[in-house]
Amino acid sequence: MKIILLLILIPLILFSESSNMPVCNTQTALQALPPRIFQQTTIDGIGQNTYVTRFFHNKLGILGSEFGRCYLNFFDPVQVAKNTLYFGLIPWLFLSYKILTLKKWKFVIPILIFPVLTFFNIAFPVGYFHKFFAIIGLVLMAKVKIFPKNILPLIILLAIFLRFFKLAYVPVSLYWDEVSLGYNAYSILKTGQDEHGKFMPFTNFAAFGDYKPPLYIYATVPSVAAFGLNEFAVRFPSALFGVLTVYLTFQLARKLTENRIIALIAALFLAISPWHLQFSRGAFEGNLGLFFSTLGIYLFTQIQKNKWLLIPSLLSFIAAMYTFTGQRLFVPFILLVLFIQFRKDLIKNLKTTILAIAIFSIFFWPLYQFATQTIEGRLRFDEVTIFKDLDPINESVRYRQKDGLTYLSDIIHNRRFFYLHEYLIHYFDAFNPSFLFSHGDVNPRLSIQGTGELYYIDLPLILAGIYFLFKLKAKYRFLIIGWLLISPLGPATARETPHALRMIHILPTFQIIAAFGAYHLYKLIKYKKIFIFVVSSCLLLNFATYIHIYYSHWPTTYSGFWQYGYKQLVAAIKPHYQQSDSIVVSNYLGRAYVYFLFYMPIEPKDYHETKDLFRDNFAFIHVNGFGKFHFIESADSTKISGVTTFAMPPGSSPAGAQIINSVKDPTGKVIFEISQLSK
Amino acid sequence: MKYFLVKKHLGEIFLLVLIIFLAGALRIWQIDKNPPALFIDEVSNGYNAYSLLKTGKDEYGNFLPLTIRAFGDYNPALSAYLLIPSIAVFGLNELAVRLPSALLGTLTVAAVFFLALKVFQSRKAAFLSSFFLAISPWHLQFSRYDHEANFMLSFSVIGITLLLYSVKKKSLLILSALSFGLCLNSYHASKVWVPLIVLAIAIIYHKELLKNKKYLLISLVIIVISALPFMINIQNSLIRAQSVGIINSKESPLPLFLNGYLSHFAPNFLFIEGDLIGRHSVSGMGQLYVFELPLILLGIIQILKTKNKSQEMKFILAWLILAPIPAALATPTPHALRSLNLVPVFAMLSAFGLNSIIEFKIPSLFKKVAILALGFVAFYNIATYFHLYYKHEPTLKAADWRYGYKQMVEFVNQVKKDGQTVAITNYFGQPYIYVLFYTKFDPKLYQELGNKDKIGNIEFFGASWQKPNDQKAILVRPAWQIPNDPKINIMKKIYGPGQSDELFFVITEE
């Protein structure tokens, strides 16, 4: 266990970016000398004994202090922390403390001499000194059994680090939904109304006409209040609840497997899972929904201890359904599994059960009304579901016609069978190994491409885990396997499968199963050290590849999928806002308006008063403009008067307009041309 | 306490009195001349206190305010109320404005003696602690002028000391809570600091605190009541936090916080360079003496090494870790004022380090050499500090302290004829408050005028000023704004203190 952690932490420290120290050598010290002496003697020299002046302002003293400045720079805690990814500071201090208290003078002297090298222009990688120092400290900490006692805080710290590090910069920019969530939260904060002026929506936020569930937006309100309207604030709830989910996984796995070590491994696996990291690092409602459904399941498993926990458990499931649409087709199924698993306890406390279900129904009712009885609520489901496809019907008709429309053929080639067939194809997609292990979701917003949703090493561990779950007759195997199998039932109704986001509630079953497998394999195998070494180095290799692609390649390669450029566009237009009478922006990348609302930022009240929007046939809401802004498809359709600033795709600025600026994507391709025209 | 009432220990009482006397002397001597001038905030505080004394209202006419608006920073009002007695006695001048800070600084030195006595259970370490604080450049810097941060420090040290003694004598808990309440109302940073340190106390001393529930309840009520003034004005109280807080910065707040936090432990900040803001440190020195570096390291190691640490030692470590947090939540960092709570900890750590050298069981020759070398460096350090502080700082930092306003206002006040217009540049910031302060302008009259751009015949201008009529007017401008015109009658040039050739104001008549 600690070896795995070490193997993850050490490269993290070693390959983190080195930060540079200020240049400091004999030359800079000598340069600093004359001005200091001059400055000090000019004030001093008047009416004072020369020896006194020399005593206080001798060259030796000043050189000494300049030398001290360089020397102590080396031990600047900010530098040490930057070079060791902040958490490395703790082992760094630990090692220093140990060396000093154990009186290892033979180490102290070289360490104290190192900084002198920098002083004499001897090239010396200072950053690496700190890195190695921290790593040795880390190994020492592991050896003196400081962290095996309680490894959970370390896992949580790792989870925090992986979820919050550069949160505002990777993913590279905010995509539509994130901005929309953020601006709706801002609007709620300022006016109590959503972007369309509806007061405190309960079942849905209309947003783009996609009728977003409300809870993520309400969760973002305090974050926007605290951090302002920016990337960090919008993503903060997701990252925070992602960390909490890791903790919850530990608790849940401990309950389900009745083994603390397996629980720790499961939490670690979730902390570094690409699937979970992907959605914890963006404002994805699904991730908050996952937290609530996991909390619901965890609380449900506790009802043996305290029957009243059933109520918060069901409320948590309600919260999940108010957070993410995908949960609405998961909660009923998982409740069924849970009811079967805990049937005895539920029947024993029948009154509590009935009360809890009553409360559940009260809160569920408005959502049920909205989702099934209104056009808006049904629209999105109808849009994505396979059951509105006509192909299976046509297919069925074709087969039956070939068979001559016999009675038997009506049964065999019944359209329902065709739909079932279609549905099963989509269901099995969820367990497609290529999706799980090698490629991940095809949508570059939902996975980084190039690594799977799980690590390769998870494959044998998961298989082993399933084997051991049944072989050892684990107490809660029905719940774990049931959870795994019912998770794709909902997402399989949609056309796009496998879909990592809609199926996010399958987490953390894979991690718990893999942890179960890993633990029992370890118990079984004779060469334990070799096993640990092989597993952890495979995991490490996988993890390193993932982290590298995530931070170095993915942001630039797929910036378009994150609507990169809108923020830069708003920044480029902002200086011209005051002087322009109108600002015309091409809508060719879609939904430009919300970025202007978000990044300007526009007061929600002003927006409510001046917005100009229309609904299309699919109930999507398009914004034509507000205030000075106009969003259009092509440049010709505008009537110009006064000073107009244009933001157009390259090459399509209106004739006669003067191009003043351009916005490029990370690869250098121009996405917007900004021009000005006055009449 | 009883210990000191025994006759036998007269020598030690004498030593303590001597240290306190030294602390007082170092804080009060030449306090009106050095720092060389009253800074804007001091003047504003002083005038507000004067206004409160004369009319019961602040400069904006608010009756007994809970926060002082000043220049829009809405400080807790205690900083102004504390100046009232000394202004009543000494009048509106430098001494009166700075004396409360100096006295509270001296009181802090005394409090640290008792604090260290409780923490280290050693009189030697306690004497050394208060001595180190008495001569600490960091503490001297802020005890020698009027700043709320020093009030915060005093009240928090007194509160903590009383709290540690309340384990034995329970009624002290209430006094301690009162002191924390005052601390809460002294400075912006204390709104972060007091909750943090009270939480640390609650965690470390929860057993003892829960033993006397009655006093605990009263204390909690006191603290909640003292939090009311800023809770009531929460909107205004947050203004300052919004302008300097890290959350409103463009960079992401977490690394900013971590870097800011760690920068307060940067050896360069502590021992070589000091705070880069001129008023916060002596140039050419760190916040502490260089010779304290090994002592502090040793002190920390000694505390960490102690097995079965006493609660007090754990508390000192918590204090050390928590103290920079208020400063790290704002920019710029490192910031010697917002992290002022570090000062007594460093003094105590130095003292503990030195104390353990003295008590080490090492060959006496070795020890003698070490102490001698340390003593030599210490002597050189301390001598250099006082030399720099008294000889160089007044000249070097004249601009930082807004030197020249006093001389300018007094001169103008002397030469101007009745009804003559005076125009003063606001290039150096907030000239109105200096005019109010040094002309001892009637607060009641000013509250009625309520105009920061014009007081009587005195006007303040930005880039340039247009003469309203043909009469001769007195103009006050920075040197570079004076046109090269022989007809202009230069009345006086205001230079920096002593022999300085730094030119601040040129007073002309046109």
Write the pLDDT tens digit of every residue in A252-278: 999 999 999 999 999 999 999 999 999
The pLDDT confidence band at residue A208, using thresholds 50, 70 and 90, is confident
Considering only the beta carbons, identify the residue of B259, B271, B392 that sits closest to A72: B271
Contact (CB, 8 A) for B333 and B259? yes
Interface membership of B268 toward A (CB under 8 Å):
yes
Closest CA to A157 of A16, A7, A268: A268
- Collect all residues of chain B within an 8 Å Cβ-Cβ radius of residue A61: 380, 384
- Contact check, Cβ <8 Å, A61/B384: yes
d(CA B103, CA B100) in angstroms, rounded, equals 5
Query: pTM above 0.90?
Result: no
Specify the DSSP element, H or E, that contains B217: helix B213-232
Range among B288-292, B355-359, B474-478 rated most confident: B288-292
Average pLDDT over chain A reads: 86
Specify the DSSP element, H or E, that contains B425: strand B422-425
The pLDDT confidence band at residue A124, using thresholds 50, 70 and 90, is low
* Model confidence at A149: pLDDT above 80: no
d(CA A298, CA B139) in angstroms, rounded, equals 54
* Model confidence at B1: pLDDT above 60: no
Interface membership of B400 toward A (CB under 8 Å):
no
Interfacial B residues in 347-366 facing A (CB < 8 Å): none
Contact (CB, 8 A) for A243 and A160? yes
d(CA B65, CA B80) in angstroms, rounded, equals 10
Residue B495, strand partner residues: B503
- Chain mean position to CA A589: 24
For residue B263, give the chain A residue with the closest CA. A78
Interface membership of B273 toward A (CB under 8 Å):
yes
pLDDT at A123: 54
Contact (CB, 8 A) for A322 and A213? yes
Q: What is the 3-state secondary structure (H, E, C) of A52-116?
A: HHHHHCCHHHHHHHHHHHHHHHCCCHHHHHHHCCCCCHHHHHHHHHHHHHCCCHHHHHHHHHHHH
Please state the length of chain A. Answer: 679
Contact (CB, 8 A) for A465 and A517? yes
d(CA A380, CA B394) in angstroms, rounded, equals 73
Q: Give the mean model confidence (pLDDT) for residues A654-669.
A: 85
For residue B273, give the chain A residue with the closest CA. A69
pLDDT, tens digit, 9 for 90 and up, residues A429-442: 999 988 999 888 98
Considering only the beta carbons, identify the residue of B262, B263, B392 that sits closest to A43: B392
Considering only the beta carbons, identify the residue of A39, A46, A65 that sits closest to B272: A65
* Model confidence at A308: pLDDT above 80: yes
pLDDT at A497: 81
pLDDT at B465: 79
Best B262, B296, B317, B396 member to test A by mutation, with max A CBs in 10 Å, is B262
- Contact check, Cβ <8 Å, A77/B499: no
Q: 10 Å Cβ neighbour count for A190?
A: 15
pLDDT, tens digit, 9 for 90 and up, residues A515-532: 999 999 999 988 888 888
pLDDT at B318: 93
- Collect all residues of chain B within an 8 Å Cβ-Cβ radius of residue A75: 267
d(CA B373, CA B377) in angstroms, rounded, equals 6
- Collect all residues of chain B within an 8 Å Cβ-Cβ radius of residue A163: none
- Contact check, Cβ <8 Å, B392/A101: no
d(CA A367, CA A211) in angstroms, rounded, equals 12
* Model confidence at A322: pLDDT above 80: yes
Q: Give the mean model confidence (pLDDT) for residues B111-120.
A: 93
d(CA A194, CA A201) in angstroms, rounded, equals 7
The torsion angle over the Cα atoms of residues A43, A46, A50 and A53, rounded to 10 degrees, is: -20
Higher pLDDT, residue A504 or A386: A504
* Model confidence at A150: pLDDT above 60: yes
The pLDDT confidence band at residue B8, using thresholds 50, 70 and 90, is low
- Contact check, Cβ <8 Å, A89/B267: no
Decide the pairing of beta strands A670-678 and A643-648: antiparallel
d(CA B292, CA B271) in angstroms, rounded, equals 8
Considering only the beta carbons, identify the residue of B247, B304, B395 that sits closest to A227: B247
Considering only the beta carbons, identify the residue of B265, B284, B498 that sits closest to A77: B265
For residue A80, give the chain B residue with the closest CA. B262
- Contact check, Cβ <8 Å, B301/A97: yes
For residue A85, give the chain B residue with the closest CA. B255
| Cβ burial, residue B486 (10 Å; 0-12/13-18/19+) | exposed
Q: Give the mean model confidence (pLDDT) for residues A480-486.
A: 94
* Model confidence at B486: pLDDT above 80: no
d(CA A564, CA A179) in angstroms, rounded, equals 12
- Contact check, Cβ <8 Å, A68/B273: no
Query: Where would I find the H helices in A150-214?
Result: 152-164, 176-191
- Contact check, Cβ <8 Å, A81/B262: yes
Q: Is A221 helix (H, G, I), strand (E, B) or coil?
A: helix
* Model confidence at B440: pLDDT above 50: yes
- Collect all residues of chain B within an 8 Å Cβ-Cβ radius of residue A86: 255, 258
pLDDT, tens digit, 9 for 90 and up, residues B268-309: 899 988 888 889 999 888 899 999 999 999 999 989 888 888
How many A/B residue pairs have CB atoms within 8 Å? Answer: 72
* Model confidence at A148: pLDDT above 60: no
Backbone angles phi, psi at B146, to 5 degrees: -85, 105
* Model confidence at A496: pLDDT above 60: yes
Higher pLDDT, residue A32 or B133: B133
Query: Where would I find the H helices in A213-309?
Result: 215-227, 231-257, 260-271, 274-280, 285-301
- Contact check, Cβ <8 Å, B266/A77: yes
d(CA A279, CA A446) in angstroms, rounded, equals 7
Measured between CA atoms, how close is A578 to chain B, in angstroms? 22
Average pLDDT over chain B reads: 88
- Contact check, Cβ <8 Å, A232/B391: no
pLDDT at B305: 86
Residue B475, strand partner residues: B423, B508
Specify the DSSP element, H or E, that contains B437: helix B431-438
pLDDT at B200: 92
d(CA B503, CA A14) in angstroms, rounded, equals 54
* Model confidence at A637: pLDDT above 90: no
- Contact check, Cβ <8 Å, B268/A39: no
pLDDT at A147: 47
Residue B14 to residues A36, A63, B18, B22, B103, Cα–Cα distance (Å): 42, 41, 6, 12, 20
The pLDDT confidence band at residue A43, using thresholds 50, 70 and 90, is low
Interface membership of B265 toward A (CB under 8 Å):
yes
Residue A612, strand partner residues: A625
Measured between CA atoms, how close is B499 to chain A, in angstroms? 8
Please state the length of chain B. Answer: 510
pLDDT at B75: 82
Give the range among A294-303, B67-76, B298-307 with minimum mean pLDDT.
B67-76
* Model confidence at A214: pLDDT above 50: yes
* Model confidence at B263: pLDDT above 50: yes
Cite the beta strand spans of B255-402 per DSSP E: none
Q: Give the mean model confidence (pLDDT) for residues A449-455.
A: 89
Helix A528-548 and helix A509-524: axis angle, to 10°? 150
Residue A647, strand partner residues: A585, A674
Measured between CA atoms, how close is A73 to chain B, in angstroms? 6
- With pLDDT > 70 as the criterion, what percentage of chain B qualifies? 96
Specify the DSSP element, H or E, that contains B508: strand B503-509
Structure tokens at A402: 């070939």
Contact (CB, 8 A) for B193 and B341? yes
d(CA A50, CA A632) in angstroms, rounded, equals 80
Measured between CA atoms, how close is A78 to chain B, in angstroms? 5
DSSP state, B507? Answer: E
pLDDT at A668: 84
d(CA B373, CA B185) in angstroms, rounded, equals 44
* Model confidence at B242: pLDDT above 80: no
Considering only the beta carbons, identify the residue of B266, B272, B499 that sits closest to A68: B272
- Contact check, Cβ <8 Å, A76/B267: yes
In our burial notation (b when 16+ CB lie closer than 10 A, e otherwise), range B220-253 reads: eebbeebbebbeebeebbeebbeebebbeeeebb
The pLDDT confidence band at residue B325, using thresholds 50, 70 and 90, is very high
pLDDT at A450: 80
- Contact check, Cβ <8 Å, A69/B268: yes
- Contact check, Cβ <8 Å, B258/A86: yes
The pLDDT confidence band at residue B151, using thresholds 50, 70 and 90, is very high
Measured between CA atoms, how close is A60 to chain B, in angstroms? 13
Q: Is the alpha carbon torsion for A412, A414, A418, A419 positive or negative?
A: negative
**What are the residues whose beta carbons fall under 8 Å from the beta carbon of B7, sequence distance 6 or more?**
none
Q: 10 Å Cβ neighbour count for A453?
A: 26
pLDDT, tens digit, 9 for 90 and up, residues A21-33: 666 777 777 777 7
Q: Give the mean model confidence (pLDDT) for residues A73-100.
A: 85
DSSP state, A504? Answer: G
d(CA A163, CA A580) in angstroms, rounded, equals 41
- Collect all residues of chain B within an 8 Å Cβ-Cβ radius of residue A72: 266-268, 271-272
Residue A294 to residues A92, A278, A430, A498, A513, Cα–Cα distance (Å): 37, 18, 20, 21, 15
pLDDT at B333: 83
Contact (CB, 8 A) for A147 and A141? yes
pLDDT, tens digit, 9 for 90 and up, residues A87-116: 888 888 888 888 888 877 777 887 887 777
- Contact check, Cβ <8 Å, B383/A56: yes
pLDDT at A375: 78
Considering only the beta carbons, identify the residue of A78, A86, A89 that sits closest to B263: A78
Contact (CB, 8 A) for B182 and B78? yes
- Contact check, Cβ <8 Å, A232/B273: no
- Contact check, Cβ <8 Å, B290/A44: no
Q: Which amino acid is at B140?
A: L
Measured between CA atoms, how close is B321 to chain A, in angstroms? 13
Identify the contact set of chain A against chain B, taking CB-CB distances under 8 A: 36, 39-40, 43-44, 46, 56, 61, 65, 68-69, 72-73, 75-78, 81-82, 86, 89, 97, 100-101, 164, 166-169, 226-228, 232
Helix B148-165 and helix B190-204: axis angle, to 10°? 10
Contacts 24+ apart (CB under 8 A), B320-324: B320/B345, B320/B349, B322/B193, B322/B196, B322/B197, B322/B200, B323/B193, B323/B264, B324/B260, B324/B261, B324/B264, B324/B265
Considering only the beta carbons, identify the residue of B254, B259, B265 that sits closest to A164: B254
- Collect all residues of chain A within an 8 Å Cβ-Cβ radius of residue B253: 227, 232
